[in-house]
């Protein structure tokens, strides 16, 4: 029976790199995969999963209105898909996470999701919250705090001058120019939110 997987971390832990490597491994064995990424992620090019080390692969995009179960089911009518990969899984809706669970359960195709657990205020993203609740396998990918040598578990948002921002939209797509990964201790010291 296929499973729903969730690999989560802060920024800069290599989630997209791991996803692209896993998809490549399937391809080397002659198996096809289906890749999804959030439509709102425009850091490199919409519809591309890109890693900081230069790997890139074209992907289907999703927004909150998309039915991912139907998308996979439709693709399966044309191709045998061995695995579904989802980058930026924090942007999935609760319903989409459950649709991906149905892909594993009813279509017997494994689904591997990769995303950030919490936002810059330490709050769970909707997609991450549901994946933490229903995924068959959870895996934390680790990176190092930008302030010390401890494991980073949180992110802070920065303004143009590098000052920590405590308020704003939950979603603001960006990279190292807007966010930095920190341990809980430094998150607490920098934000006073916890």
Q: Among residues 57, 73, 88, 147, which one is catalytic?
A: 88
When pLDDT is averaged across residues 166-171 and rounded to a whole number, the result is: 91
Which residue is associated with the tokens 């992110």?
A: 155
Whole-number Å distance between alpha carbons of 65 and 19: 24
**Residues contacting residue 78 through CB under 8 Å, at least 6 positions apart:** none
DSSP assignments along 23-58, one per residue: HHHHHHTT-EEEEEEETT--SS-TTEEE-TTS-EEE
Q: What is the mean pLDDT of the chain?
A: 94
Distance, in Å, from the CA atom of 16 to the CA atom of 12, rounded to the nearest integer, reads 9
pLDDT at 42 over 70: no
pLDDT at residue 104, as a whole number: 98
Count of C-beta atoms within a 10 Å radius of residue 162: 8
* Cβ atoms of residues 38 and 68 within 8 Å: no
Q: Mark whether 88 is an active-site residue.
A: yes
pTM of this prediction exceeds 0.85: yes
Name the residue among 54, 17, 51, 14 with its Cα closest to residue 143.
Answer: 14
Q: Is residue 173 very low, low, confident or very high in pLDDT (cuts 50, 70, 90)? A: confident
Name the helix (H) or strand (E) containing 188. Answer: helix 184-191
Query: What distance in Å separates the CA atoms of residue 91 and residue 9, rounded to the nearest whole number?
Result: 14
Question: For residue range 115-153, what is the model confidence (pLDDT) as tens digits?
Answer: 999 999 999 999 999 999 999 999 999 999 999 999 999
- Confidence at residue 41, expressed as pLDDT on a 0 to 100 scale: 67
């Amino acid at each position: 029976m296929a499973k729903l997987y969730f690999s989560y971390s802060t920024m800069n832990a290599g989630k997209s790199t791991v996803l692209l490597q896993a998809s490549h491994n399937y391809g080397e064995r002659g198996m096809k995969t289906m890749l999804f990424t959030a439509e709102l992620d425009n850091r490199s090019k919409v519809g591309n999963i890109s890693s900081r080390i230069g790997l890139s692969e074209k992907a289907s995009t999703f927004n909150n209105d998309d039915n991912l179960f139907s998308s996979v089911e439709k693709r399966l009518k044309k191709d045998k898909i061995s695995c579904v990969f989802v980058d930026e899984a924090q942007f999935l809706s609760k319903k989409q996470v459950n649709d991906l669970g149905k892909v594993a359960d009813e279509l017997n195709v494994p689904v591997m999701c990769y995303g950030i657990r919490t936002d810059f205020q330490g709050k769970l993203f909707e997609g991450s919250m549901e994946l933490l609740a229903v995924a068959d396998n959870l895996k934390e990918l680790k990176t190092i705090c930008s302030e010390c040598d401890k494991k980073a578990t949180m992110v802070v948002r920065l303004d143009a001058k590098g000052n920590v921002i405590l308020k704003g939209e939950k979603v603001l797509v960006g990279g190292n120019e807007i966010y930095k990964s920190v341990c809980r201790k430094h998150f607490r010291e920098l934000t006073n939110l916890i």
